[in-house]
Amino acid sequence: MQSNPLPSESDEILLAQPRGFCAGVDRAINIVNEALSRFGAPIYVRHEIVHNKYVVDELRAKGAIFVDGIDEIPRGAIVIYSAHGVSQQVRQDAAERGLQVYDATCPLVTKVHVEVVKLCKDGFTVFMIGHAGHPEVEGTMGQVESGIFLIENLEDVEKLNFSADERLAFVTQTTLSVDETKEIVNALTKKFPKIIQPKKQDICYATQNRQDAVKFMAPQVQLVIVVGSQASSNSNRLRELAEKLGVPAYMVDAPDQLRPEWFEGKKRVGLTAGASAPESLAQAIVARIQEFGPRQIRSLDGVVEDVTFSLPKNLTHPV
């Protein structure tokens, strides 16, 4: 149960709890840092390791080279897969190129990969609820050669032309809006009452907790700042959620993107950060907001996360 001290009369910045790095992002960044310190630069990373410009720029400065295609990597080099996961085709291309692979796919994304493979093997047609073009969606759908279809919205559900008696199942991207996904799931289960649902929700704990924290914070503030980069799915969902709750919200990934006029007449400003945004960046943004006028800082109550994921064994215990 969340509780809060009585509101103060002075202008404030309210900090959502939890915010920022999740266990999957933390692990992915640690894998790149560990590889850099063990093997030295350059270390190739397929796709941005996590969707945050600040993090990517920092790792690039240390010697990480970010590429979109395996064919951009010299034969025999080291490659790290991003937290979003990769398709089987990418794994095959890397093997053919003789690359030394360290996999930073978040274990919660891998869990969905395993589900998809099992369902398809058992003869199910699988629907993936997610956003077209997102690397996690490409990676998950790319676990199988056929039998998986993307659903982005309610209209896609309406268009589905399957018999209610077919063997059907669905999985979801891990970083979706919890509420919007519920609507799509309800439409799917109404249309296909026998559809198989994931045993445990695919939307991850970090996405759920950060959205819950915004729901708690939004009614207490007149403006929400989300620290996150444009490509970050979970950060975009936080901004949309605040707006749906009737609070103007902006997403920024550098202090100089803040505009002083956003804060005029706003007594209480809420700040949250997507799962790929570091706390140091959130603090730099808080400091910049303070330059527009003094504000007390108040951390809200919320879930304290203690999830951690270990690094890949082939990195920590090389044979």
Helix (H, G, I), strand (E, B) or coil at 284: helix
- Is it true that the peptide bond before 107 is cis, omega within 30 degrees of 0? no
Closest approach, Cβ 178 to ligand SF4, in A, equals 12
Of residues 239 through 278, those in contact with ligand SF4 by CB under 6 A are 275
> According to the binding rule CB under 6 A, does residue 24 interact with ligand SF4?
yes
Interface size with ligand SF4, residues (CB under 6 A)? 15
Determine which residue in the list 36, 55, 79, 106 makes contact with ligand SF4, applying CB under 6 A: 106
From residue 68, alpha-carbon distances to 46, 202, 260 in Å are 6, 26, 36
Residues β-bridged to residue 78: 100
> According to the binding rule CB under 6 A, does residue 22 interact with ligand SF4?
yes
Burial class of 139 by CB neighbour count within 10 A (0 to 12, 13 to 18, 19+): buried
Closest approach, Cβ 310 to ligand SF4, in A, equals 14
Nearer to ligand SF4, 24 or 139 (CB): 24
Determine which residue in the list 172, 175, 177, 236 makes contact with ligand SF4, applying CB under 6 A: 175
Which residue's beta carbon is nearest to the bound ligand SF4? Answer: 24
Nearer to ligand SF4, 64 or 83 (CB): 83
Of residues 50 through 69, those in contact with ligand SF4 by CB under 6 A are none
Report which of 112, 60, 103, 58 is spatially closest to residue 83, judged by C-alpha positions. Answer: 103
Give the binding range for ligand SF4 (CB under 6 A) out of 17-25, 236-244, 282-290, 293-301. 17-25
228 neighbors 238 (Cβ within 8 angstroms)? yes
Catalytic residues: 136
Helix (H, G, I), strand (E, B) or coil at 179: helix
DSSP string, 108-154: HHHHHHHHHHHHHHTT-EEEEES-TT-HHHHHHHTTSSSSEEEE-SH
Give the binding range for ligand SF4 (CB under 6 A) out of 23-31, 34-42, 160-168, 181-189. 23-31
Give the binding range for ligand SF4 (CB under 6 A) out of 52-60, 101-109, 162-170, 187-195. 101-109
Nearer to ligand SF4, 203 or 269 (CB): 203
3-state secondary structure 42-110: CEEEECCCCCCHHHHHHHHHHCEEEECCHHHCCCCCEEEECCCCCCHHHHHHHHHCCCEEEECCCHHHH
> According to the binding rule CB under 6 A, does residue 174 interact with ligand SF4?
yes
Nearer to ligand SF4, 234 or 236 (CB): 234
> According to the binding rule CB under 6 A, does residue 173 interact with ligand SF4?
no
Nearer to ligand SF4, 134 or 288 (CB): 134
Residue 271 is encoded by which pair of tokens?
A: 């700040």
> According to the binding rule CB under 6 A, does residue 23 interact with ligand SF4?
yes
Determine which residue in the list 204, 224, 225, 273 makes contact with ligand SF4, applying CB under 6 A: 204
Residues β-bridged to residue 168: 125
157 neighbors 184 (Cβ within 8 angstroms)? yes
Q: Site mask, ligand SF4, residues 109-148, x = CB under 6 A?
A: x---------------------------------------
307 neighbors 23 (Cβ within 8 angstroms)? yes
Q: What is the spatial distance between Cα 210 and Cα 208, in angstroms, rounded to a whole number?
A: 6
Binding site for ligand SF4 (CB under 6 A): 22-25, 83, 106, 108-109, 174-175, 204, 206-207, 234, 275
